[in-house]
Amino acid sequence: MQLYREDIDRYVKKADILMEALPYINKFHGKTVVIKYGGNAMVSEELKTTFAKDIALLHYTGINPVIVHGGGPQIGKVLEQMGIKSTFVDGLRVTDSATMDVVEMVLVGQVNKSIVNLINQQGVSCIGLSGKDGKCIHARKMTLKKESVEGKPPEIIDIGKVGEVISINPDIIEHIQSGGFIPIIAPVGFSDDGETLNINADTVAGEIAAAIGAEKLILLTDIEGVIIEDKLAQQLTPASIKNYVASGKIKGGMIPKTECAVNAVRAGVTKTHIIDGRVPHAVLLEIFTDMGVGTEIIDDPGSALTL
C-alpha cells in the first residue's frame, strides 16, 4: 500500500519515540523496578488496562517489575456492605480482628488476583502473594502516640492490627523473578506471634525496593506529584523534604510517601518517583522518556538528615 507524505511523517514520529526510549531500555535492561500500584489507576477500567500493558512492555524489554498494590477503596466498599464501620486515625484504618479478616480477604483474595489476571491477559505471567508467603514481610504492631499537654506523657493510641515493617525476606521475590514471573504483592505481613497485620502499601513498596536492590521505586498517586506552594516539585532530596515537612509545605498523606522515598534512596535505590497514576502510561513516560513525569527523589550524598 502506498503511503502518503502525512502517513510517513506520522510513522517517523513513532520511530522517533522508539529511538528516544532506546537508551533507557539499554540502561534498565536486567534491572528491577518496584511499582506501588494504587489510587485511580486501580479503579478506572481504561487506566487498569494501560497499566497492565505498561507492565507487559517493561517485562518484554528486559526490565523486571515488582508490583506492590493497595486497595483501600475496595476494602471500604466491602466493609460497608458487611455493615462494618471504617474508622481512621491519622490516615490509618483502625483494624480490629473482624476488619483484618476483610482486609486480608479483599487485598489477597480479590484485588491481588484481579491484578494478576489483568497482567496475565497481556501475555506475561504473574504470581500473586501476600507478605505472609515465604515469610516475606516481617512486621510488628504499630502504636501511635498523640502528644499531650506539656508535662504529661504522650497518649498511646491502639489502632489494632496495623503493622510496620521490621524486615523483608527477598528470597521468594527473587525466586519468582528467576522463573520469569512478575511478583504481585499484597501489603499484609506477619508478626513474631503469627498475627496478621495490615501495612501501608507505600511503606511496603519502599522496604521491598531497598531489600532487593531495585534501580527505581515508582509510587502511583492521584496528584501530579509533590506540590510545593502550588507548583510541582520536579526533584527533591532528603534534606529538602525534611525542610518542607517541618515548614508544613509537605503534609497529610504526602508525608508517608516522601518518607518512604527517602528511606528507599538512603538504602541504595537510585531514584524514587512519585507520579500521577491518572495519566495513561504514566509508568512508561517516567521510565522511557527524556522528560519523565511527577517528582523525582534522589539522595544528597554527605547529608545525614532524615525525616
b (16+ CB within 10 A) / e for 73-108: ebbbebbeeeeeeeeeeeebbbbeeebbebbbebbb
Cα distance between residue 32 and residue 305, in whole Å: 27
Residue appearing with cell numbers 486480608:
104
Topology at the third CATH level for domain 29-297: Carbamate kinase (3.40.1160)
Q: What is the pLDDT of residue 303?
A: 47
Q: What is the pLDDT of residue 293?
A: 81
Q: What is the pLDDT of residue 4?
A: 65
Q: What is the pLDDT of residue 307?
A: 40
Burial class of residue 189 in the structure, from the number of CB atoms within 10 Å of its CB (0-12 exposed, 13-18 middle, 19+ buried): buried
Cα distance between residue 287 and residue 58, in whole Å: 9
Contacts of 253 (CB under 8 A, 6+ apart): 91
Number of neighbouring beta carbons within 10 Å of residue 277: 26
pTM value is: 0.89
Instruction: Select from 52, 98, 47 the least CA-distant residue to 75.
Output: 98
Q: What is the pLDDT of residue 39?
A: 83
- Average pLDDT per block of 10 residues along the chain, 307 residues long: 66 79 91 93 90 96 96 90 84 86 94 96 96 96 74 75 95 95 97 94 95 95 90 92 91 86 92 92 89 84 45
